[in-house]
Amino acid sequence: MNAEKPDRNLAIEIVRVTEAAALAAARWQGLGRKEDGDQAAVDAMRKMLETIEMDGTVVIGEGEKDEAPMLFNGEAVGTGRPPQVDIAVDPIDGTRLLAEGRPGSLAVLAAAPAGTMFDPGPCVYMEKLVVGAEAAEAVDLDRPLVDNLRAVAAAHDKELRDLTVIMLDRDRHEEAKRQVREVGARLQLITDGDVAGGILAAWDERPEVDVLYGIGGTPEGVITACAVKALDGQILGRLWPRNDDERRAALDAGYDLDQVLTADDLVDSEDCFFSATGITPGQLVNGVQFRGKGAITQSLVMRGKSGTVRLITARHRFEKLRRYASVDY
């Protein structure tokens, strides 16, 4: 039997980045100041990324669609030494959740070998369908949503009424919501944060959600694909221009707006890495808990190549961290 020896797992290092972002952002929970919370997460993430031994480039930066504080597309991160890595980042998936003190906000980062992450160009939104390993071969974005729900239910050996679909609560989803309800499936509506929703749908060991469907951010789609590959699930996506100008720009740039993108199209490598740390409490991971002179974080860490999924609970002592860390804890 030929076997590779274990090599470097970058996910174990990038979790320190999402932990730092979550700790910084959590101070802004419920204060109603989206920009300040986002800026705190970005600053902490940027400073911690400087310590990671990699020649990284941000290729998917969150924030362009609403001009929020961001790590910029094309920004160099890491020490500048190999390996060369594409970075997809969402310092806060769910900035409104954090600002309003609601559950489910996360600090999220994904990485893959340079040149392997999909560049969505001018399109900041995409239609998405996410399922777990059992239903990965059963779905087709070119089929009606109802047909896909029936196929997923069959793959899970469930009745349709026992299937749970998670979806962003947006006006653009009124028809999709109607179809889910009409066939009798269970519907879970979320106000923000479809990275967590996609992972819940892809993770067969977490059976409370079976399908994510809806139109959400393309950065979140690429990030989710890294996690989906570790879970052997599937994400199907199609670029969704918001207006005629964006459609024209995408077509002029050579994008096929009818193409169904798979997890392999979004991230063309198995050696991808994912880390998410909870900021406010959620279904996926716990939020930051401040205790005395420190805090406790919980993170979900994955590697596509090995399929390893880790749930990491960490205790942070601020007095010690402040002696050497440049992050404002």
Residues marked as binding for Mn(2+)?
Answer: 38, 62, 90, 93, 220
Are the C-beta atoms of residues 276 and 92 closer than 8 Å to each other?
A: no
The 3-state secondary structure of 66-98 reads HCCCCCCCCCEECCCCCCEEEEEEEEEECHHHH
Measure the CA angle with vertex 226, ends 235 and 195; round to 5°: 65
C-alpha span between 34 and 54 (Å, rounded)? 30
Are the C-beta atoms of residues 278 and 314 closer than 8 Å to each other?
A: no
Q: What is the DSSP string of 153-164?
A: HHHTT--GGG-E
DSSP state of 120: -
Q: What is the DSSP string of 175-236?
A: HHHHHHHHHT-EEEEESS-HHHHHHHHH-TTSTT--EEEEEEEHHHHHHHHHHHHHHT-EEE
CA atoms within 13 A on the CB side of 93: 35
Q: Which residues define the annotated binding site?
A: 38, 62, 90, 93-95, 125, 170-172, 192-194, 217, 220
Count of Cβ atoms closer than 10 Å to residue 206 Cβ:
14
C-alpha span between 196 and 185 (Å, rounded)? 20
C-alpha span between 33 and 233 (Å, rounded)? 36
What does the block give as tokens for 93?
Answer: 């998936």
Q: Which residues define the annotated binding site for substrate?
A: 93-95, 125, 170-172, 192-194, 217
Query: In DSSP terms, which residues pair with 85 in a beta bridge?
Result: 56, 113
| CB proximity list for 256: less than 8 A, separation 6 or greater | none
Q: Which uninterrupted H or E stretch holds 250?
A: helix 244-252
